[in-house]
Amino acid sequence: MATAPEELGTFFTFLKVPPGPPFPAHLHNRTVCGVVCCYAGSLEEGEDAVRPLLEFGPPLFEHVGRMPYPFLQGAFDPVVPPGLHHYWKADFMPDLNDDAIAAHAEFGPQIPSVESVLHIYPTDGAVQRVAVQETAYSHREAKFVHIIAATSPDPADMPGGTAWTRAYWQALHPHSSGGAYVNFLMEE
């Protein structure tokens, strides 16, 4: 992604596939890796930009095509309706070193519920062209921000989900640049 055009926004995720449309039945409740992307430009340029993602290996499921931005923004709303219980932790990361990748390989597959996620968002490109003192958004040197989110409709699930989130975060935090995006923080 380091050479992708800035018009291509992506994030990586570990998730359990929700049991229902539009996902194929054989994937329901399976833990998978996913890449969510959005190209802000022409359809033709967008197809060229996402081609390396599609050619990386045969995807288990893909939906690439023209859609209005508000549709993409709300595409995951059915999986996280109001009233769920949440525990989130996050960090800015200077890179994805081997130890951080090993932590993802260990904890990502243990995701506790369909509603829970791990997201890794790139934060380079345009974000890093603005000087730190010019806005309230700091940590512009970070290349990634991750969010580890345990979520469930049942409060009885949260002790296990919270433990997973904390252990995952503790494995990643030594490799972070410190700090976290404020929207990804809980009461801690």
Q: How confident is the model at residue 1 (pLDDT cuts 50, 70, 90)?
A: low
Specify the pLDDT at position 69. 83
Q: Is 172 exposed, middle or buried (0-12, 13-18, 19+ CB in 10 A)?
A: buried
Q: What is the pLDDT of residues 8-17, one digit of tens each?
A: 888 999 999 9
Average pLDDT of the chain, as a whole number: 89
pLDDT given at position 148: 97
**pLDDT at residue 130 greater than cutoff 90:** no
Q: Buried b vs exposed e over 99-134: b needs ≥16 C-beta within 10 Å?
A: ebeebbeebbeebbbbbbbbbbbbbebebeeeeeee
Give the separation between CA 41 and CA 43, rounded to whole angstroms: 7
pLDDT (average), residues 42-49: 91
At the top level of CATH, the class of 83-184 is alpha beta
pLDDT at 125: 75
91-117 pLDDT tens trace: 999 999 999 999 999 999 999 999 999
**Do the strands 117-122 and 8-16 form a parallel or antiparallel pair, or are they unpaired?**
antiparallel
Residue 85: the pLDDT is: 96
Higher pLDDT, 89 or 187: 89
Domain ranges in the chain? 8-73, 83-184
